[in-house]
Homo-oligomer: A and B are copies of this chain.
Amino acid sequence: MPENILEFEQPIAQLEAQIAEIKRLTAVEGVDRGEEIALLEAQVEQLRLKILGDLTAWDHTQIARHPKRPYALDFIRLMCDDFLELHGDRLAGDDGAMVGGIARIGEQQLVVTGQQKGRDIHERQRRNFGSARPEGYRKALRLMRLAEKFGRPVVCLVDTPAADCSVAAEEHGICEAIAHNMRDMFLLTVPIIVAVIGEGGSGGAIGIGVGDRILMLEHAIYSIIPPEGCAAILWKDPKRGPEAADQLRLTAQHALAFGVVDEIVPEPLGGAHRDVDATARALKDAVCRHLDELSAIPVEQLLRQRYERFRRLGPVLDPRAAGQAACDGRVDGDGAEPAR
């Protein structure tokens, strides 16, 4: 059985392996078992639809963290031309967990930045498992200012379990770095598109998560705390992550219902890793469409709308302005309907 198969994917994987085996035998033995194969393929298709069309929050979490999931640099390379990575915060370091540079989509020059996880153990360590340090957030902001200077839009790709919380991170002001980024991103005079492509891990995510449009891949998650951490706090049992994942409403569809994201970008059945190219094409299409819309908006209006977009998040019951908040249909994450 191939590695990197998630638990809920196993029935499908077993059938797929069975079909592959029959096909192999067919080739070896020369017997025509096309009918059997067709039957099994219909079965696997049904199974796929059944299992993958009805994923739990924990399933989404697993897909979002899938070791074969495309990472920021994969998307950048597939979506953009002429990418030139730029490094360094010009202060103290160059953070491997945050990448960025100039790129081009069609005729549009832009700056793209995002957290980057690693494929193998060496790259993972070098990338700090996608947990950006203060140097990373400051590099990202420096590159956004470069975009602003030349009137280029910014695309941020969010994929981090959390911001780095090492001693070194505290020493270099990880809090300051995240806060400063958010503040200055509200003042940046060029369009910003944020896409949560994998894990939207709390403060680590929002440190590059302010924008005019927030997109989210279908199986990405966006959460205030990892489900395991939540379970550890609630039930002193990190193993109850699946329950916590459900409770935290961390799926793209909840985020859409809350108004936290504006659009869910569909993934291939089973997740982005099943067809990386198709996922990148879908994301690229969405980014281009929103860039087109945003580029037509005068800068003052752009900044006002960016402000209002976040200003209305988290409605509350205000008895002195009765009815106002409760009328907002997007309040309740439980009422979420799939976007597509």
Which A residues lie at the B interface, using CB under 8 A? 90-92, 134, 138, 171-173, 176, 180
Partner of A92, one of B90, B171, B180: B171
Residue ID in chain B nearest A134 by CB atoms: B91
Sampled A-B contacts (14; CB under 8 Å): A90-B173, A90-B176, A90-B180, A91-B91, A91-B92, A91-B134, A91-B138, A91-B172, A91-B173, A91-B176, A92-B92, A92-B171, A92-B172, A92-B173
Residues of B within 8 A of A91 (CB): 91-92, 134, 138, 172-173, 176
Residues of B within 8 A of A171 (CB): 92
Residues of B within 8 A of A134 (CB): 91
Residues of B within 8 A of A138 (CB): 91
* Residue from the set A90, A91, A134, A171 with the largest chain B CB neighbour count within 10 Å: A91
Residues of B within 8 A of A180 (CB): 90
Residues of B within 8 A of A173 (CB): 90-92
**C-alpha spacing A172/B92, complex, angstroms:** 5
Minimum distance in angstroms from A132 CB to a CB of chain B: 16
**C-alpha spacing A138/B90, complex, angstroms:** 12
Minimum distance in angstroms from A329 CB to a CB of chain B: 41
What are the 8 A-B residue pairs with the smallest beta carbon separation, nearest first? A92-B172, A90-B176, A91-B91, A92-B92, A91-B173, A90-B173, A91-B172, A92-B171
Residue ID in chain B nearest A180 by CB atoms: B90
Residues of B within 8 A of A90 (CB): 173, 176, 180
Minimum distance in angstroms from A184 CB to a CB of chain B: 13
Minimum distance in angstroms from A133 CB to a CB of chain B: 12
* Residue from the set A134, A171, A173, A180 with the largest chain B CB neighbour count within 10 Å: A173
**C-alpha spacing A127/B18, complex, angstroms:** 74
**C-alpha spacing A75/B286, complex, angstroms:** 60
Minimum distance in angstroms from A272 CB to a CB of chain B: 36
Residues of B within 8 A of A92 (CB): 91-92, 171-173
**C-alpha spacing A91/B171, complex, angstroms:** 9
**C-alpha spacing A172/B135, complex, angstroms:** 11
**C-alpha spacing A138/B138, complex, angstroms:** 14
Minimum distance in angstroms from A134 CB to a CB of chain B: 8
**Apart from the given pairs A91-B92, A92-B171, 6 other A-B contacts in the complex at a CB distance below 8 Å:** A90-B176, A90-B180, A91-B91, A91-B134, A91-B138, A91-B172
